[in-house]
Structures are given as structure tokens and as C-alpha cells.
């Protein structure tokens, strides 16, 4: 962020420039943006009092990482803001997110700060047509990174389907160049993974140890599961024994109450000894079956 002296404070402006990757910071993109903004300010009679630059920062839902953008908005929202206009080279330098772009511009407008674009004169204009075109630009700026992400994922999936490397090869492998495609700006290299004979023995040992670790981990998990199940069964057994004892106690108490009630009413029930004696007599009767008949005043008996 550069501080500049202003000769005329009547029409004050600041510039905002941004690039989205570290590679672009090595080129002239930032300088080209600032130069275009300075030329616009000079042509329209504005004095630039400050320049805000975010290098290597994306403008698609990445506001928290754009420190100088946040500083610019904070400066614009103070009571005695030091500028009246924010100049950008293009609207996509300001933001590529629809909600963020409209919200930040509305915030600037609420504090009487206007946003202008060097290459898009409809930005910041007052006519309904300019407003419509500006909203279309905001939508197109949001569409670009979203569509680019879809296309990149599609290309990566296709490279995987063709068994080509997407990133660096894993340990134990090395890359082998399959084809080089010369593009307009750069050379595209297509490569595949092949076994690295030097690192392969170590990789195999590492994989074997990893399998042992996985098996051990599964065994420990199984033991923990069994221990937990045994604990649950013991708890269930104790609960069952407690329930059984409580039921036995209640049945015994109920039987005693019934016996006491019957005794008080004069009812007598056979004891265990009486029951045993009755069973003995019944057995004797079953072993001795007789058929009685009267013949000449005598009794005839038959033994089975």
C-alpha cells in the first residue's frame, strides 16, 4: 500500500489492484492496473491519495484474506473518509462474488464513495441501462471462476481415466513423460507413473508394515468391541438376577398373605406331609385293583 501526496483535495481518489496467483505477481499485471488507474484519475481531474494492492489473492469468496481490500473499505466508512472515488482497472478486480460485490459497492455508496472501472465506464454511472449492464458484468465475473472450476475438475478426471498423473507420483514411483503439447503460452507435459526400482523395495516394506498396522488396529477394535459386549452382558445378567430375586420375594410374600387370610377364616390346607401321604395311598390303590361281586355271600377279588 503506497501513500501519495495530493495537490488537490477537492477530488480525491484511491486505486485498488489485485492479482489472483503468486505467478502473476512476478509479471507486470499489478503495474499495468495501477498505470491505467492513474491515467484515468489524471484525465478526470482526480488526485490519488492512496493505492491498495492485494497480491496473489482470489476475489471469489475470499474477502477475509484480502487485507488491503478490507483496509480500503474501512477507510471509506469512517466519518471523515479521505477519498471520494475508488478506481479499479476492471470490475472483476474488485470482486468475483455476486453478493460480495453488490454488498461492498452498496456500503461504499452509503458513505458517498463511488466505484469506477477504467475499462467499464458503465460501472458507477447513474442511468438504468448502465445499472443493468453492470449487474450483468457482476454475474459474468461470478460465472467465470465457477465455470473454470468445473472445467478443471473435468480435465483432471479425464487425466485420471487415461492413467496420467494429475499431481506428483507417490513414493515408490516416478514420472515418465508421455507427451508434450506446445501451447500458446506454455508447454503442457503429460506424464504417467512408473515403478522406481530404487525406491520400490522401501515402498513395499512400508506398505507391508502399514498392512500389519491396519490388521493390528482392526484386532484392537474388535477386542474393544468384545470387551464392551461382555460388560453389557454382565450388566444384563445382574439386572436379571435382581429382577428374579424381587419376583421370588413378592411371590413368597403373596403366598404368606393368602395363607394367613385363609387361616383366619377357618380354612385348612394340607401340608407338604399330608400331600406326600395322600400320594402314597393313591399309589397303593393303583397297584391293587379289585373287582368285587357277590357269589353265595362271598367276595371274589382279582389281583393284577
DSSP secondary-structure letter at 7? Answer: S
C-alpha cell at 280: 402314597
| pLDDT band at residue 273 using 50, 70 and 90 as cut-offs | low
| Per-residue burial over 281-299, b = 16 or more CB atoms within 10 Å of its CB, e = otherwise | eeeeeeeeeeeeeeeeeee
Domain ranges, ordered by start, for the chain: 2-152, 162-195
pLDDT at 86 over 90: yes
**Contact criterion met (CB below 8 Å) for 124 and 115:** yes
Residue 60 near residue 96 (C-beta atoms within 8 A): yes
Q: Are 87 and 16 contacting, i.e. CB atoms less than 8 angstroms apart?
A: yes
Q: Of 51-55, 82-86, 224-228, 270-274, give the lowest mean pLDDT range.
A: 270-274
> In Å, what is the CA distance from 105 to each residue of 34, 85, 108, 283?
20, 11, 5, 110
Mean pLDDT of the chain: 79
Q: How far apart are CA 250 and CA 30, in angstroms?
A: 91
CATH class of 2-152: alpha beta
Angle made by CA atoms 195, 197, 201, in degrees to the nearest 5: 100
Q: Is the pLDDT of residue 101 over 80?
A: yes
Is pLDDT at 191 greater than 50 in this prediction? yes
Amino acid at each position: 500500500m503506497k501513500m501519495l501526496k495530493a495537490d488537490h483535495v477537492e477530488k480525491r481518489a484511491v486505486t485498488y489492484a489485485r492479482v489472483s496467483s503468486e505467478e502473476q505477481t512476478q509479471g507486470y499485471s499489478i503495474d499495468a492496473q495501477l498505470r491505467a488507474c492513474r491515467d484515468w484519475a489524471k484525465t478526470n481531474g482526480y488526485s490519488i491519495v492512496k493505492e491498495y494492492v492485494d497480491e496473489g489473492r482470489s476475489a471469489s469468496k475470499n474477502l477475509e484474506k484480502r487485507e488491503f481490500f478490507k483496509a480500503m473499505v474501512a477507510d471509506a466508512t469512517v466519518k471523515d473518509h479521505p477519498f471520494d472515488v475508488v478506481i479499479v482497472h476492471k470490475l472483476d478486480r474488485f470482486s468475483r462474488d455476486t453478493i460480495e460485490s453488490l454488498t461492498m459497492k452498496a456500503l461504499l455508496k452509503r458513505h458517498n464513495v463511488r466505484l469506477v472501472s477504467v475499462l467499464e465506464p458503465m460501472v458507477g454511472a447513474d442511468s438504468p441501462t448502465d445499472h443493468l449492464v453492470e449487474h450483468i458484468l457482476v454475474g459474468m465475473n461470478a460465472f467465470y471462476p465457477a465455470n473454470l472450476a468445473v472445467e478443471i475438475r473435468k480435465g483432471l478426471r479425464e487425466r485420471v481415466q487415461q492413467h496420467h498423473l494429475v499431481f506428483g507420483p507417490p513414493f515408490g514411483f516416478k514420472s515418465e513423460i508421455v507427451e508434450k503439447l506446445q501451447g500458446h503460452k506454455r508447454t503442457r507435459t503429460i506424464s504417467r507413473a512408473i515403478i522406481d526400482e530404487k525406491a520400490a523395495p522401501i515402498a513395499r516394506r512400508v506398505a507391508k508394515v502399514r498392512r500389519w498396522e491396519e490388521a493390528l488396529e482392526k484386532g484392537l477394535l474388535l477386542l474393544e468391541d468384545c470387551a464392551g459386549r461382555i460388560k453389557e452382558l454382565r450388566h444384563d445378567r445382574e439386572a436379571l438376577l435382581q429382577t428374579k430375586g424381587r419376583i421370588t420375594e413378592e411371590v413368597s410374600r403373596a403366598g404368606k398373605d393368602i395363607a394367613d387370610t385363609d387361616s383366619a377364616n377357618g380354612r385348612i390346607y394340607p401340608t407338604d406331609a399330608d400331600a406326600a401321604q395322600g400320594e402314597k395311598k393313591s399309589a397303593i390303590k393303583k397297584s391293587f385293583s379289585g373287582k368285587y361281586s357277590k357269589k353265595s355271600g362271598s367276595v371274589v377279588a382279582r389281583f393284577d
